[in-house]
Structures are given as C-alpha cells and as structure tokens.
Chain A
C-alpha cells in the first residue's frame, strides 16, 4: 500500500510523519505548481471550486509516482467539501485510475466507522502505537504553525528582504528527506531556531492585518497566491484566524478550554449571523469582529470563487465595517486570478490603512511611499 493525500499548507509534514511511524509507505504529492492546477482544471467540472481542482491535480501527480491509496478528510457541513471525496473518487474512476480511497468523515456520532477506517490504514499496529503516532503528529502541526508565526513576525521586520523565505525554502527541501515524526519535528525545531535568528529592524511599527475566510484558501499558500508573503514584503504583520493546529484542537482533540474560547468568539457574530451556513462563514464574521476588537488595522477575507458560505459572509461584512470601522477587503481566487491585479489590491489596501493610521497618529510620516 502506497498512500497519498492532497496538499494543504503544512499538513503534509504531519501526515508523512504519522504514516512513516505506522510503517506505511507514503507518496508526498509534488508541490503544487502550474502543472498541478492545469491537470486538475482539465479533469474537474468547470464550476467546481478551486480546492477540488487542485486536489485532483495532487492525486494524479502522486499516482504517477506510484501511489495506490488516497486518504482525505470528509465533512458533514452544508458545504461542497462534504462530497469532495466521493466526487473525486468518481472522477478518478472515470479516468481509469484504480485507487483505493479512504474518506475520514469527522466522527460526530458514529465512532465505529471512523475506527474501522483507522484500522484499515493502521494494519498490524497496536492501538497504543497508533495513538502515540497521532499525538506526535499533532505536535508537528503545532510546531509547524509556530514556525510560520515566527516567519510572519520576522518578514515584516527583516533587514534583508527575502531572508525569511530563503530559509523557509531550505526547510521545505530538507524536510522531505526526513523520515518519521521525530526526525520531522527535529527539523522543524532546527528551523524555528534558524528563523528566529533572522536580523530585525528595531525601528519599525508594522501594520497589522488579520486574515479570515475559507480554510483551504487561507492555509494553502499556492492557492492564496502567497498572500502572507506579499503582505510581509509590504511591511505588514499578518494574523491568521484559522490555522491547522487550531483545526486539530477543535475537531480532533478534547481541548475543552480551546473549544470554549472558540465558542466565545463565535458568539460575537450573533447580531449578524448566529448559525453555521457551511464552510467557515460564521467564523469569518466572528473573527472579523474579534480582530476589530483586538485593534488590528485591517482585515482581508480570502475565498475561492463561487464559495457559497463565503459569499454570505462577504455580503454581511460591510455592516461589520460600518459598526466597527476596521476596513475589510475581500479577495476572490480561482485558476483565472491574475497575480498583478491581486497585488495591486493588496498594495492599495495597505496604503489605505497606512493613510488612516497617519491620520490617527500625529506626526507619523513614514509609510505611504513604501520603499
């Protein structure tokens, strides 16, 4: 059995570590490139949203590298993601790829099915070793997110532009040759150290922008056209409302304290939207309010083209802006998105926030010129 899975930001680190530890052969899909998207766009329905197309591209590229089993998460919410696994299985079948697909739906009530699927994957491993591997994999998710957070802070302040990203690039090259949770974790820790040594300017006061929106577009940098990197180069400190680790804590762990906090933030959205309409629309509204209260300078919503829940959120956000006064911009991405126009909007938004701040803080003269 050679197992593969779709890319989603840094999730490949944890899945590779987990499967390595369980003694299962893994095919990490090649990084998402134009070619991946091309394959996916050609083979998927036109109106499907971007994540599905990229998933298909990932699968095909992995199958070409020898994968015969695909694992993917499922969902029970009223969003298209719920039938991704099933649809993707049909698409691959039509193409003549004879692969085994294991879909992990969140175990809302039926733990039996969930456990059966894990058993199918785990084979001869004992339950204890499976549990331990899961625990270590979630440590990877946690530390990888912490590594990205260091990068987000450093990018806005680095003395030599590009220092952070050239180090992250080295990390990506190096980590693929590691085997098992422990080795991957060790590499992440090493690079956390390396990243924190990047030299910072001492006299900068970065603007703060919170990112909200649909989870896949927020987490996968290829899909959001490296928004975090672009904002970082414009001197902005970025806050991510949804991270992989938070998702893990919320859906796979029993962290009650975190769940309470999540509920508290969600409740903030009550005057505008107080139920789940699928995807992460509810969270988008709630986090926009949360960020406004925290005093960030602006919020950017990112969504894939045609994403119903996020369209609902988009139409509500102008009212949140009216009430809280924190500027919000929506960016829509799909395979037709032009990078130049995207960057123009980001730059103009940052200028707008800078001008606003200049109006607030007397005598603050830096900023608008940006170079």
Chain B
C-alpha cells in the first residue's frame, strides 16, 4: 500500500478548535470542527483522536502548523513545525483556495478582521480594536435566547420584508435595543435581519474603516455560515461575496498550507510532530506561580507534558523562557 503524505493544520480559537489534514495538492482529507468549551488541551486531544479515525491508515503526517489564540499551547501539545498568527494563516488560506481574492472579511467567535490582498500577497490588514469583537459569540447567544437553532438564524433573516434598525455599537447596547424592539411587538425575522445589518455596519465602520474593499470579496470564519450576514454584506458593499467551501476552518487550512510550504522548502527537515499515539497518551497539566527573583514579579505559566516541563510563558527577563536548558538545570516539578 502506498504511503500518502499529509499535512496537519490546527486552529485553536476561543470558540472552536479546528483540525484539518490536507494532501500535497491541498485536497482536504479530513476536517474536524469542535467547540473549545474553555478546555483547549482536552478538546484538542479529543479532536486529534477523531482525526485519526477519519484518516486512512496509509497516511503519514509530514508537517504540522498551528494558529489561533491557542497556537503556542497547541504547538507544544502536538509538536508543531510552524506557529503562525491567525491573520497570516487566514490570508494564506484565502489566497490558496480563492486565488483571485483581493479582500477577505473574516469574522470568528471573538475577533473580526479584514485582510487586503494585492498581487497575491497580504498588503494590509486590520483587526477589531475597541469594538466589533465577539460577533460570533454574540450571534450564538442571541440564537439561544430566541430559541432558534444557530443554523436557522441566517435563513430567518432572509424572510424579513421590513428590517428593524438595531443600535449596534456594542453587544450590550445591541441586545437591549433588540429586546426593546421585541417588547414593542416587532416580528422576530425583522429583528434578526436588523441585527445582521447592524453587525455588518459595525464591522465596516470599525474594522474595515479606511481600507479599500475591492472584489473579489471572500467571507470566511464561523459567521460566514450565516446567510443573513452574507446578504447584508452584499447589500452594503454592492459586490457579490464568495464563501469558500471550507469557510469554517480556513485558519487551520492556512496553517496546514504553511506547514507544507515550510517542510518542502526546507528539504530534509523532519517534522516535530509527536505522533497521534503519543498525544493521546500523554498527560498535559499546567500550573502558575509568581517569580519573586526581582521586582518585576512576573506570573509564570508552566506546561508540563508527562513529567517534564514542556514550555513556560510569562517571564519578562528571559530567565524562564529558556526551555532548552540542559536536564540538570531544568526546573523540577514540585520545587518552589
């Protein structure tokens, strides 16, 4: 049986953890989308277990990339070759799967970003600063409050004939305005449509401000599943919007593509991937302590894999950052 070469991309975000495996032609061999539930390590291990059962037995992982807010943690847990921020990963994924893209609108659970692509490279980007954050989480919450499945939320918006204007400066005000409109007897679909429009307005005014939005416009991230938001974007921009097939795991796809490029350009490089078996078997724990060696009093977080310290974060002086110390110098668990 032939061995098939595959590359893993892992996106550990605030709301979801996505794992994808691609082959050398960027075909998706398997994809997992699970909720983070605030337990990134356990859920990541579970997702890796699911990935094993999804992939055929003759697949060999040649390289791994991680991205998302939990990229550093994920990199240590699985043993990654490339650790990349989510802006670059999303830009690379859009360019790989929609080569003529010039603008990427990305709305995830917590962050919103706009990426401007020109001549096949990322030429500018912006991320939500003061507001327009948490759009995905907010939609989730509203769907739950109205007792409408999140998958149906966008469709309902399309049924609206006369949208209601919702004040969408921030989630708290948007929610109270929504409730106010409900109590006045407005129809549910009109309110949802109004909400979609408010979120799009907020995104374009806060994240997309000052950026030149040119077609082709790609819309990705978990919120791209919402047809109501997509429609609102199309109306506001006047362009047709492309939602790529794997819109929900574009970050992970970008990380996989980067891992593939890294391994192929650096020839003879062996992947640092721990292997599925070891990841599933190994126990990962973490602890924090305050370093009192100097007046900075940094809070140090330690990740322990099995018995050994696998990573440390948080020190200002560089003393704790050095993980690759000789064994005898290493900080022993239980000391201090």
Among B111, B130, B296, B322: residue with most chain A CB under 10 A: B296
Please report the total number of B residues contacting A with Cβ < 8 Å.
34
Is A45 an interface residue, CB under 8 A from the partner?
A: no
Chain A residues whose CB sits within 8 angstroms of the CB of B26 once the complex forms: none
Please report the total number of A residues contacting B with Cβ < 8 Å.
37
Contact status of A341 and B111, CB under 8 A, knowing A351-B85, A359-B119, A365-B265: yes
Q: Residue of B at shortest CB range from A221?
A: B316
Is B295 an interface residue, CB under 8 A from the partner?
A: yes
Interface string of A341-370 (1 = CB under 8 A from B): 101110111011001101100000100111
Whether B127 lies near A341 (C-beta < 8 A) is yes
Whether A33 lies near B85 (C-beta < 8 A) is no
Whether A165 lies near B87 (C-beta < 8 A) is no
Contact status of A318 and B210, CB under 8 A, knowing A344-B127, A356-B121: yes
Whether B317 lies near A169 (C-beta < 8 A) is yes
Is A226 an interface residue, CB under 8 A from the partner?
A: yes
B162 to chain A, nearest CB (A): 36
Whether A169 lies near B258 (C-beta < 8 A) is no
Contact status of A371 and B297, CB under 8 A, knowing A166-B317, A348-B88: no
A148 to chain B, nearest CB (A): 16
Whether B83 lies near A359 (C-beta < 8 A) is no
Partner pick for A162 among B81, B210, B318, CB 8 A cutoff: B318
Whether B296 lies near A162 (C-beta < 8 A) is no
Chain B residues whose CB sits within 8 angstroms of the CB of A356 once the complex forms: 121, 123
Among A161, A166, A352, A355: residue with most chain B CB under 10 A: A352
Whether B295 lies near A352 (C-beta < 8 A) is no
Partner pick for B258 among A162, A327, A340, A369, CB 8 A cutoff: A369
Contact status of A31 and B296, CB under 8 A, knowing A162-B321, A165-B317, A318-B210: yes
Q: Residue of A at shortest CB range from B116?
A: A352
Whether A348 lies near B125 (C-beta < 8 A) is yes
B305 to chain A, nearest CB (A): 19
Q: Residue of B at shortest CB range from A356?
A: B121
Is A332 an interface residue, CB under 8 A from the partner?
A: yes
Chain A residues whose CB sits within 8 angstroms of the CB of B294 once the complex forms: 169, 173
Q: Residue of A at shortest CB range from B299?
A: A34
Is A30 an interface residue, CB under 8 A from the partner?
A: yes
Interface string of B81-116 (1 = CB under 8 A from A): 111111110000000000000000000000100000
Alpha-carbon gap, A165 to B210, bound state (A): 37
Contact status of A345 and B258, CB under 8 A, knowing A351-B88, A351-B122, A359-B119: no
Whether B87 lies near A332 (C-beta < 8 A) is no
Alpha-carbon gap, A305 to B127, bound state (A): 16
Q: Residue of B at shortest CB range from A338?
A: B69
Chain B residues whose CB sits within 8 angstroms of the CB of A347 once the complex forms: 84-85, 88
Partner pick for B130 among A31, A169, A173, A332, CB 8 A cutoff: A332
Whether B318 lies near A165 (C-beta < 8 A) is yes
Partner pick for A368 among B123, B124, B129, B258, CB 8 A cutoff: B258
Partner pick for B295 among A31, A161, A340, A344, CB 8 A cutoff: A31
Alpha-carbon gap, A370 to B72, bound state (A): 14
Is B319 an interface residue, CB under 8 A from the partner?
A: yes
Whether B121 lies near A348 (C-beta < 8 A) is no
Whether A169 lies near B318 (C-beta < 8 A) is yes
Whether B322 lies near A162 (C-beta < 8 A) is yes
Whether B319 lies near A166 (C-beta < 8 A) is yes
Whether B111 lies near A352 (C-beta < 8 A) is no
B161 to chain A, nearest CB (A): 39
Chain A residues whose CB sits within 8 angstroms of the CB of B125 once the complex forms: 348-349, 352
16 A-B residue pairs with Cβ-Cβ distance under 8 Å, sorted by A, are: A34-B297, A162-B318, A163-B318, A166-B317, A226-B316, A332-B130, A344-B86, A344-B87, A345-B127, A351-B87, A352-B124, A356-B121, A369-B82, A369-B258, A369-B262, A370-B84
Kindly list the 9 A-B residue pairs having the minimum CB-CB distance in the complex, ordered from nearest: A162-B318, A348-B87, A169-B317, A347-B85, A351-B88, A165-B318, A355-B121, A344-B85, A369-B262
Q: Please give 15 more A-B residue pairs, beta carbons under 8 A apart, in addition to A33-B295, A358-B121.
A: A33-B296, A162-B322, A165-B316, A166-B318, A166-B319, A169-B318, A340-B69, A344-B85, A348-B85, A351-B88, A352-B122, A356-B123, A359-B121, A368-B88, A368-B261
